[in-house]
Structure 1
Amino acid sequence: MAPRIAVGHHHEVRQPDCIRAVTAEIILTFLFVFAGVGSSMAAGKVMGGDGTIMGLTAVALAHALVVAVMISAGLHISGGHLNPAVTLGLAVGGHITLFRSLLYILAQLIGSALACFLLKYLTGGLETPVHTLVAGMGALQGVIMEIVLTFSLLFTVYATIVDPKKNVPTGFGPFLVGLVVGANILAGGVFSGASMNPARSFGPALASGDWTDHWIYWVGPLIGGGLAGLIYEYFFKNDTHVPLPREEPF
């Protein structure tokens, strides 16, 4: 099977559809992180933190809802990635060029940082809670946890949104992806934080200046996302897909 990865070209940055898509990724990721991190901050104030079952459930629900809505909102513009791991997972399947992937990831980091700095300002200087490992969990365990959780996320993205033979009603895929994100937070939130998203971890770390264990939230999700993309695209997805360097991923 011929490789499907498309490198792209720097001329893409001048294309109107690329400009719109990158701008959308800044806005969508900003709104996602604002709601996600904001829910964690709120849980810390009114529920004793997201380590309690009520706090964890509230945070999981908030993330599930905002992920579903933001993917739906951006699906026709940028694909609604919100997440460097999603972007990488789609790039390895040839659904977005590597050059545009880099632009998306930069946009996602900018959106996340802006959301966290604004949250810190609006809450009177409250620290944005960072993803970190629970006491007793080693770095390798944390990486594996994030690999598994992100693999689950990307596998769902491919199966419910990307695959042209998906058995899911049009527009229902983002809702299912949101449910997986919420379920994964319930499963892994108290252990690794269940980031599944380097951008989601980057903003709080930058705003708080706390980079403890931060590398884990790049290595784990990027491996999990890339692996899921490769496995689904080359093993489960049986179609006549031909990568188009200028097309949007979804």
Structure 2
Amino acid sequence: MPPIHRQLVDRVAIGRYQEEVADPGAIRAFVAEFISVLIFVFAGQGSGLAFGKLTHGADTTPSGLVAVAIAHGLALFVGVAISANISGGHVNPAVTFGAFVGGNITLLRAIFYIIAQLLGAVVACFLLSFSTGGLAITGCSLSAGLSVWSAFVFEIVMTFGLVYTVYATAIDPKKGEVGTIAPLAIGLIVGANILVGGPFTGAAMNPAVAFGPSLVGWDWGNHWIYWAGPLIGGGLAGAIYELVFINRSHESLPGSDF
């Protein structure tokens, strides 16, 4: 058996521009990711704004946390479900990166997926700012007294759980009937992680979720955590699940299978 690093390298594929970027199917996949992230971020970020307005700024209460967790979970459930048969329903650069590490998407397509996801988050936040009459769009932030390294580990662990769930329910070729509940399982793990990590880091688990509000609100405090943590967590989940539980040679999965 080749060493682990060799197995991972063998799974990685760059892809051909004509097939992975310029092909009409690829373009439809990029548009699907853009729309899914737009819907997800608009509902998720908007839930915090709506609850804050109803409670006159008390969106950090326990009931506010539950409301935001439910909104994110439901919105992600929908976002994954509506794009699953077109793009695979990544809705998250960390999921895309985890899929790339496991050899389930080419580098070229992964890059354009991530660009589409970031654009979807930015457009969603601009639409929220406009449609709410200019309410401040705030990004993820650390709770008082929490060190950046604690937050970094938090984001790694939460995203690992998310991407591991994606692999187990959506990517694994042995998933069987479990695949039918993949969008629900993915939404539930995000909602659960928000209940745990929301008061500490904001529980992004998704660079796009952090990037859109940060760009629109122009607040980049500790922003690197929301890229490095999710990408490391997603990459680890992809590598571990692919090597330990799937263990196959590189083969890019078509969008309809992921």
What is the TM-score when the length of structure 1 is the normalising length? 0.95
**Contact kept in structure 2, 1:72 and 1:171, CA below 8 Å:** no
RMSD, aligned CA: 1.4
Taking structure 1 as reference, are residues 50 and 236 closer, same or farther at Cα in structure 2, changes over 3 Å only? farther
Secondary structure of the equivalent of 1:128? Answer: coil
Aligned to 2:36: 28
Taking structure 1 as reference, are residues 55 and 122 closer, same or farther at Cα in structure 2, changes over 3 Å only? same
Secondary structure of the equivalent of 2:134? Answer: coil
Aligned to 1:143: 152
Residue number among 69, 74, 78 corresponding to 1:65 in the alignment: 74
Find the aligned partners of 2:178 and 2:114 in 1 and give their Cα distance. Answer: 29
Q: Percent identity?
A: 52
What does the per-residue CA deviation read over 1:132-163, in whole Å, with 9 as the maximum and x for residues that have no partner? 10010111111100000000000100111111
**Contact kept in structure 1, 2:104 and 2:250, CA below 8 Å:** no
**Contact kept in structure 2, 1:40 and 1:129, CA below 8 Å:** no
| Structure 2 residue 3 is the aligned partner of structure 1 residue 16 | no
Opposite residue 144 of structure 1, the aligned amino acid is V
Report deviation, 1:5.
Answer: 1.1
What is the TM-score when the length of structure 2 is the normalising length? 0.92
Aligned to 1:46: 54
What does the per-residue CA deviation read over 1:182-210, in whole Å, with 9 as the maximum and x for residues that have no partner? 00000000000000000011110111111
Residue number among 158, 168, 182 corresponding to 1:159 in the alignment: 168
Secondary structure of the equivalent of 1:155? Answer: helix
What does the per-residue CA deviation read over 1:77-136, in whole Å, with 9 as the maximum and x for residues that have no partner? 001111100000000111110110000000001000000001001111101121010010
Report deviation, 1:44.
Answer: 1.6
Find the aligned partners of 2:98 and 2:39 in 1 and give their Cα distance. Answer: 22
Greater mean deviation of Cα atoms: 6-15 or 81-90: 6-15
Aligned to 1:231: 240
**Contact kept in structure 1, 2:138 and 2:219, CA below 8 Å:** no
Opposite residue 12 of structure 2, the aligned amino acid is I
| Structure 2 residue 219 is the aligned partner of structure 1 residue 243 | no
Report deviation, 1:167.
Answer: 5.7
Report deviation, 1:242.
Answer: 3.9
For structure 2, the residue ranges without an aligned partner over 5 or more in a row are none
Taking structure 1 as reference, are residues 213 and 49 closer, same or farther at Cα in structure 2, changes over 3 Å only? farther
Counterparts in 2 of 1:1-250, with a 5 A limit? 1=2, 2=7, 3-11=10-18, 12-47=20-55, 48-166=57-175, 168-238=177-247, 240=248, 242-244=250-252, 247-248=254-255, 250=258
Opposite residue 124 of structure 1, the aligned amino acid is G
Find the aligned partners of 2:238 and 2:59 in 1 and give their Cα distance. Answer: 30
**Contact kept in structure 1, 2:126 and 2:216, CA below 8 Å:** yes
**Contact kept in structure 1, 2:15 and 2:106, CA below 8 Å:** yes
The runs of at least 4 aligned residues of structure 1 exceeding 4 Å deviation read: none
Report deviation, 1:51.
Answer: 1.9
Opposite residue 34 of structure 2, the aligned amino acid is I
Paired residue total: 248
Opposite residue 64 of structure 2, the aligned amino acid is G
